[in-house]
Structures are given as C-alpha cells and as structure tokens.
Amino acid sequence: MNSLAGITAVVTAGSRNLGAVIVSELASRGASTISTFRASSEECSALVDQLPTTSEQSHRCCQADLDNPQGIESFVDELTRLDQVDILVNNFGPFSMTPFTDMTEEEWDRIWNGNVEAARRCSRAVAPAMRNRGRGRIVNISAGSAYIRNHSIYTLAKASLITLTEMLALELGPEVTVNGVAPGQIAESADDIAEFDPDFVDRAVRHTPTRRLVGRREVASIVVDLCEPRYDGVTGAVIPIDGGWRLNRF
C-alpha cells in the first residue's frame, strides 16, 4: 500500500467530488498530496485532516482559480516554485450545458480555460523538472462528453483534452508518461445532472451495456493505477470508464 511513498502528487480541484477521492487514493498508496481548491478552504482542510500521514508523507491545500488566465498564471507560478512534483492530475474541468447560440463569450472562455488551458499550462510547468529527474506522470481527466456532440464547448474541451494527452505523450517521453481517463456519468453526481436533464440518468443506464453508472472510487483507482511503476509502458492512452455507454448501436 506504500507503492507511491516518496512521491508528491498535485491534483487540481482535489478538494471535493472525484478530485477528493483521487487524492484519498493517492494518499492511501503513500503519496504526499497537494490539492487545489477554488473557494472552500474549509472543505479542503477537512479532506487533508483525514488523510494518512507518515514521516515521509504530508498533505496540503492550495487555492487556485483555474478558469481564467490570471488564476492559471498564478498557480503555474506556484507549481514552478515547488521542490518536487512527480504526479500531476489535471482534474479541474468546469461543465456547461448552455446551448451554443445562447452562450456568452465569457462562458465559452471559462469552460475552455478550465478544461484545456489549465491542463496545458500546468503540464508545461511541471514537465521540465520531471524530465530532469527521469520520471513523471501526468493524468488528464476527460469525460464521456468527449464522445458525443450535444454539450457544445464542454464536448469540444474534453475532446481536445484527449488530443492534448496524445500530443504530450509524444513530446514528453520517454521520461514522462501522459495518459487520461474519460469517465461517463458518475453515480455520485447523478443529482447534479438531473438538475439539467431529469431523465438523463435513466436513459444513460438503459443505454449502457453494464446497466449501471460508474462510481468515483473505481475511476480514482484507475487514475492512480496509471501513476504506478507497473504502468511505465503505458502512455498516450485515454481509458473510457463508462460501462460501454459511448458505444454506438443501431
């Protein structure tokens, strides 16, 4: 359970929801963690307080507003000052279902910046030191929305994140592996999507070969598995974690 001892991991939006479960999984395997939060320092502090610690392991929070250029720049400066980042999980990813013709320029930029620009800039900040040390892991959190075409800028951003993952895998190897996961609708967030579309979950379950939604814990486990030494030979992969939901059928 200490396979990641001596490793420091940064998880953007790591204070809540899927991000918090990823942080907990990393900590359970011995990693030190840095979790970003946007507004609630109390929520992040509560998470950190319950994580396991050892003499080689510590955890802390860092405020970061990653959906605008100024906030990204500020956090990138913070990353470059850190002594060591072995793992970067680009988990921050604001969502929108505003129709294309109704969307403001500000909302378009916010979704694009939060999902793509934040991942690009954060990866660029940590990659040189990872390469100098001879090892690093970057994991990008895409989404099942990358495979459909009715979520406007969110679909575009999550699909672009898949391409970014493949591009960085080519650019940063052999020292750094870059992979991603693309979760479908997550069970614990079903109530959130129901506010936009009350029937979405029922339709999704009926359409999914496994007839269920995925859970945060199983997504987090795969994210952290990709950071393990036994996955040294895997890069440029994006794993759909959706029970087969994305597969077209007649």
The catalytic residues are: 154
* Residue 169 neighbours by CB distance under 10 Å: 20
- Which strand ranges, in their side-by-side order, compose the sheet holding 32-37? 59-63, 32-37, 8-11, 87-90, 136-141, 176-183, 238-241
Angle subtended at Cα 57 by Cα 220 and Cα 59, rounded to the nearest 5 degrees: 65
* Phi and psi angles of residue 242, each rounded to the nearest 5 degrees, phi first: -145, 10
The two structure tokens encoding residue 2? 């200490």
With b for 16 or more beta-carbon neighbours within 10 A and e for fewer, the 42-75 pattern comes to eebeebbeebeeeeebebebbbbbbbbeebbeeb
